[in-house]
Structure 1
Amino acid sequence: MRAIFAVVLLVGLGLAGFAVYMAQNYIQGYQAALAKERAGRQDIELVDGYTVSRAMKYGETLLKEDVRIVKWPAAAMPEGMFTSVEELFPKGDNRSRVVVRAMEKGEVLIAAKLTKPGEEAGITSRLARGQRAFAIKVDVASGVSGFLRPGDRVDVYWTGRAGSKNDSRGDFTKLIEANVSLIAIDQTADEEVDTGNIARTVTVAALPQQVAALAQAQSTGSLSLSLVGAEDDTIASAIEVDQRALLGIEAEVEEVVKQEAKARVCTIKTRKGGDVLQIPIPCTN
């Protein structure tokens, strides 16, 4: 019995020693891998950011319960992101901010999506420094069949006749403004407005010089809009098309017909009694 007990004890001690050895190897391997991972890890600087806690639509008032704080990588901060509650809700200022762009739950808050404290969500909040709002009358043809929305960009074409009615070019069309931003359709500046409705007016953001050009063009002819693609960053060059270019007719060359000069006749006058006679003579010059 004692011999069997000794054998079992020795086997148990051997298994225990082997288990300890395996555990030590596992722990050492794990620690080595952890140390290697920590050595290769770079510290990421985080800043406070704010997101909306629910979906919000254009024109809604932003309240403190509508936002929540999140940690955001400093290197990936979007332009205009709020990083402190004082920036979002200034102390001592009870005026509210209004949403000007629809946001989904969890979307980060930036200045471009909100008005300034106390400012309405109208077209004035969409005008950059130095810009003015100008309304253009449109219909189903000139307004791109109702597919325009606030935030789109358009090229503006003018069609009319310049100069006198005898102008051989007839009516012609010319690009007068390119890449103009739309800030309102009829009486709404909501970018989420349903498309397909035929607008009567569109409002664009333009510099005073552009406003003067658009006003003059609208009073002397008709304006048409051409929708620019969302990712199109090209600027259209000067474009002008008249009836002759449209139909491929070459300009007519007016022939000037010269009339032959009449033969010059030289005469002298003589008097015979009461009659005066004219007698032809050769011209000396």
Structure 2
Amino acid sequence: MRMVFGLVLLVGIALAGGAVYLAKGQIGQYQAALNRAEMARQKIVPTETVYVATRALKYGDRLAAEDVRAVDFPVTAIPEGAFKTEEEIFPPTTEELRVILRPIEKDEALLAVKVTAPGEDAGITSRLERGMRAFAIKVDVSSGVSGFLRPGDRVDVYWTGRTGRGNEAGEVTKLIEAGVKLIAVDQSAGEVDGATIARTVTVAVNPNQVGALAQAQSTGRLSLSLVGAGDDTIASAVQVNQRSLLGIEAEVAAPVAEKERVCTIRTRKGAEVVELPIPCTN
């Protein structure tokens, strides 16, 4: 009887230990799941409604209701000037639409700096930054890069004219402005379809550059050189004349041999005056 009781006791203890072990494992798994849920909750980024473009929009397009949609945007990544309500974009007090000032890609956040106020015209003045002025440069097929210029491109401006006087006179080509931004081609400040031979291009420059370009245009010929879209280098000083272009070196006058000095002294012999050579002292 005692053996049976001891056996039952041992079996009970074994079962209890197993139950405790299983319970401990279950509790550990539950605690790990809680920890994972808490970490996932902490990783959730707070969002806010922001309006984005439903299609690619270019300069001059009118912004309609079907061109925008609301999305949840991370609060810490919302760009300055983003629209958060439809009423901000399309005020109920007016039926006038906004006009696109700068290209906007599909799903890009709509920003106040890239659109006009409702009913406002997207004139060329909207492309001028503070302190900048618009200046028109006359071009043709050769000086205007064969019609491949577009608003938004950057160009280097070269001046060709005559300098010097007399024998020093001659034509010279010099870089006078580097990386100037184009804001219009002929009368268009938007996209230009195909290669168009422009008659004038309008650049954005500061007042000092306006004076330099006006002087250069009135005294010689201006040519434009297109800068690559991803090129952030600044062209260094460039000046080329005919001699440097053809590799002609300036003529150097041959040195003139110095005449040997002869020093004399006059003396009188009776009625005759004669010159006698003597060593030169200076």
State the TM-score, normalizing by the size of structure 2: 0.72
Equivalent in the alignment of 2:236: 237
* Whole-angstrom CA distance in 2 between matches of 1:189 and 1:223: 21
In structure 2, give the amino acid aligned to 1:60.
Answer: D
* Whole-angstrom CA distance in 1 between matches of 2:216 and 2:235: 18
**Identity in percent:** 60
Aligned-residue RMSD, C-alpha: 3.8
* Whole-angstrom CA distance in 1 between matches of 2:244 and 2:60: 48
Equivalent in the alignment of 1:178: 178
Q: CA deviation at 1:105?
A: 4.4
Q: What's the secondary structure of 1:157's corresponding residue?
A: strand
Q: Is the 8 Å Cα contact of residues 155 and 179 (structure 1) preserved in structure 2?
A: yes
* Whole-angstrom CA distance in 1 between matches of 2:253 and 2:123: 57
Q: Is the 8 Å Cα contact of residues 101 and 190 (structure 1) preserved in structure 2?
A: no
Residue 39 of structure 1 pairs with residue 45 of structure 2:
no
Q: CA deviation at 1:124?
A: 1.1
* Whole-angstrom CA distance in 2 between matches of 1:244 and 1:29: 87
Q: Mapping of 1:1-285 within 5 angstroms?
A: 32-33=32-33, 35-36=35-36, 38-40=38-40, 41-85=42-86, 87-89=88-90, 92=93, 95-164=96-165, 166-168=166-168, 170-191=170-191, 193-254=192-253
* Whole-angstrom CA distance in 2 between matches of 1:239 and 1:247: 16
Listed as ranges, the gaps of 5+ residues in structure 1 are: 1-24, 264-279
* Whole-angstrom CA distance in 2 between matches of 1:63 and 1:93: 13
The worse-fitting range, judged by mean Cα deviation, of 73-82 and 139-148 is 73-82
In structure 1, give the amino acid aligned to 2:234.
Answer: I
Q: CA deviation at 1:83?
A: 3.4
Listed as ranges, the gaps of 5+ residues in structure 2 are: 1-24, 263-271, 276-282
Q: How many residues align?
A: 246
Q: 1:36 to 1:143 in 2, by over 3 A?
A: same
* Whole-angstrom CA distance in 1 between matches of 2:171 and 2:30: 82
Equivalent in the alignment of 2:265: none
In the TM superposition, what whole-angstrom CA distance separates every residue of 1:99-127 from its partner, at most 9, and x where no partner exists? Answer: 13344543321234312344312211101
Q: Is the 8 Å Cα contact of residues 156 and 175 (structure 1) preserved in structure 2?
A: yes
Q: Is the 8 Å Cα contact of residues 163 and 169 (structure 2) preserved in structure 1?
A: no
Equivalent in the alignment of 1:5: none
In structure 2, give the amino acid aligned to 1:181.
Answer: K
Q: What's the secondary structure of 1:171's corresponding residue?
A: strand
State the TM-score, normalizing by the size of structure 1: 0.71
Q: 1:88 to 1:31 in 2, by over 3 A?
A: farther
The worse-fitting range, judged by mean Cα deviation, of 232-241 and 32-41 is 32-41
Q: 1:42 to 1:242 in 2, by over 3 A?
A: same
Q: CA deviation at 1:160?
A: 1.0
